[in-house]
Amino acid sequence: MEEIEDSLKALELKSQNPKIVKGLALLMFRMSRIEPPSSLDPITVREVIFSKTRVPPASPGERDEILEAVAKEMNSSVAEIRKAMYADKESEQILLSLPEITPDSLSRRFNSEQIETVMLKAKKIEITSPFNMPRIIRIARRLGLLYRATERDAVEISGPLSVTEGSERYGSSFALFTRQIMRVGEWQAEATVSLRDGKREKEYAYTINSSVSEYSDLPEEENHYGFVQSKEFVKLENGQVIFDYTFNVEGKSVNILVTRPRYYQEDHFTVRSAREQGINAEVFCIIRGNEKCPSGAICFKDSVDWIRAKEFLETKYSRKETNVERGPVKKIEEISEENRKKIFRHLEDLYPDSQAMVDYIEFMGLDASKTLEEAGFKVIWKGLKILVQK
């Protein structure tokens, strides 16, 4: 890596804009396969070396003796100890392979990241779109961003610099938002960004539009275990909504919303409205950090666990489980063994949130008390409420 860094420095000196060289090199390194020169932990190796050297070795011979003692203690070789001593330094890393990427693709990715970098300095961004505003709002809600509608076809989204709590996490979500709206057609955005000019911060207006999609080298969103990104609006009595995904269970199409705690109640109401019209719909909630799962919600940590979501939907909507559609199931024993295990696993994930566990069981059309006992939990009644313990 040290040789590569020297070559890059020489290239920077020849370039009219060395920052571009640095940026392109950084992208290449990120996509490359790199590994340390040794599997030994370098910090541990250095600690053992320092424990055996009260004073620096006076000669190469003394140094070799110390390394031999360290190698013996760590059940390794002197050569391996030498490689491991500074294996955490960037210059010591070994480049195994480069990514297969064309110059055009690298250029597009560089331009895309340049846009992201500026947007991370945003205090706010106002987006207008004559046709795709519902989709843009869904992306913002799914990522937990703060927003308010300013006009029918416009929305203002709070930028990372306007958020004081959890700003790093919010900034990551905002970066994802910037990437994802590049997939959406016909929009324009004006961001208020704060940049340092010498010792002072100055505000600038930064305008971009959907033409930047040509810079994006992102593939279409993946099909996660049968979950397909929704593209059509669904008409409800109180308006129309675009769901995040659809999922097919034995010929039944289920519409999925992916939301965050601050928007859960609103999205739960949307799902309930859809069900009242005979439309199959579910809402999954993503929680991060110390956020609590809203009562009754089906939550996933950091991102949707598509396998578990698939299991849940197949359990609820499969023809074998028609009892869910007919009405409450009196006994957990009526559920197949495979689906019983899936329900029990999800209860383990929800524990110790008693209310969420009860809401989930009732949502599945089962008797809460008997199901909890069958799953190995202890049920304690506090008035009319159930307290779940192990």
Q: Tens of pLDDT along 116-172?
A: 888 888 889 999 998 888 888 888 888 888 888 777 788 899 888 877 655 677 888
Q: Are residues 337 and 354 in the same domain?
A: yes
Considering the domain boundaries, does residue 170 fall inside one?
yes
Average pLDDT over residues 71-86: 92
Considering the domain boundaries, does residue 153 fall inside one?
yes
Considering the domain boundaries, does residue 223 fall inside one?
no
Calculate what percentage of the chain has a pLDDT beyond 70.
92
User: What pLDDT does 324 receive?
Assistant: 41
Contacts of 242 (CB under 8 A, 6+ apart): 134, 135, 138, 230, 231, 232, 233, 234
Is residue 149 within 8 Å of residue 98, measured between CB atoms? no
Is residue 147 within 8 Å of residue 154, measured between CB atoms? no
Q: Are residues 10 and 44 in the same domain?
A: yes
Q: At 364, give phi and psi (nearest 5°).
A: -80, 0
User: What pLDDT does 221 receive?
Assistant: 55
Write down which residue in 97, 113, 129 finishes a domain: 97
Q: Are residues 123 and 253 in the same domain?
A: no
Instruction: List the one residue out of 295, 362, 297 whose CA is nearest residue 332.
Output: 362
User: What pLDDT does 261 receive?
Assistant: 92
Q: State the total domains in the chain.
A: 3
Is residue 210 within 8 Å of residue 189, measured between CB atoms? no
Q: What is the mean pLDDT of the chain?
A: 84
Write down which residue in 215, 242, 261 finishes a domain: 215
pLDDT tens, 58-71?
Answer: 788 888 899 999 99
pLDDT tens, 3-43?
Answer: 788 888 888 888 888 888 888 988 898 889 888 899 899 99
Write down which residue in 160, 185, 215 finishes a domain: 215
Q: Are residues 92 and 122 in the same domain?
A: no
Parent domain of 384: 228-389
Structure tokens belonging to residue 343: 């329900």
CB contact burial 121-138 (16+ within 10 A = b; e otherwise):
bbebbebbbeebbebbbb
Considering the domain boundaries, does residue 221 fall inside one?
no
pLDDT tens, 244-287?
Answer: 999 999 889 999 999 999 899 989 989 988 988 889 999 999 99
Considering the domain boundaries, does residue 107 fall inside one?
yes
Instruction: List the one residue out of 338, 385, 346 whose CA is nearest residue 364.
Output: 346
Reported pTM? 0.59
Q: Are residues 257 and 384 in the same domain?
A: yes
Q: Are residues 116 and 253 in the same domain?
A: no
Q: Are residues 198 and 274 in the same domain?
A: no
